[in-house]
Copies of this chain bind each other. A is one copy, B any other.
């Protein structure tokens, strides 16, 4: 998982200035193991930094994503893009009801990547591996409401 300093160093090495806004966004990403949207980060940081604008959050997330420091998961059944500060290869399992996202590591990911290298001819840069389903909570709710 990325540490705050790690993310800030990546920005520095890319020649970008370290602003309080960027520092706060990096801290949020490093200190939470959720899979936030731009709006989630904005809402959270607004309390401690009232002048923050959503545009800055979008800009910083795009910058970090372009540098490969974070990953773009994409939508989760809602209509908003989620980000992942964990860039280690892993699978994100998404609840289509409540949008909760959990991580699942798998040693088979390496083999899959090899399959693609051999078969596609693409020069791979990243991946977005999502499974969809109902989380345990939402399964329970679905069962109790549909009547046994």
The answer to whether A124 has its CB under 8 Å from any CB of chain B is yes
Q: Which residue of B lies closest to A129 (CB)?
A: B129
Copies in the complex: 2
Task: Say yes or no for A56: interface residue by CB 8 A criterion.
Answer: no
Chain B CB within 8 A of A119 CB: yes
Q: Does A8 contact B (CB under 8 A)?
A: no
Taking a contact as CB atoms under 8 Å apart, the answer to whether A91 and B112 are in contact is yes
Roughly how many angstroms separate A47 CA and B96 CA in the complex, as a whole number? 36
- The answer to whether A109 and B112 touch (CB under 8 A), given A74-B75, A124-B132, is yes
Identify the closest chain B residue to A118 (Cβ): B104
Which residues of A in the span 111-140 have a Cβ within 8 Å of any Cβ on B?
A: 111-113, 115-116, 119-136, 139
Identify which of B95, B113, B127, B129 contacts A122 (C-beta below 8 A).
B95
- Residues from chain B with a CB closer than 8 A to the CB of A105 are 115
Bound-state Cα–Cα, A101 to B110, Å: 21
A80 to B124, alpha carbons, bound, how many Å? 21
Known: A93-B120, A109-B112, A129-B130. 12 other contacts (CB 8 A): A93-B122, A106-B116, A108-B108, A108-B112, A113-B131, A120-B131, A121-B135, A121-B136, A122-B134, A127-B130, A127-B131, A129-B129
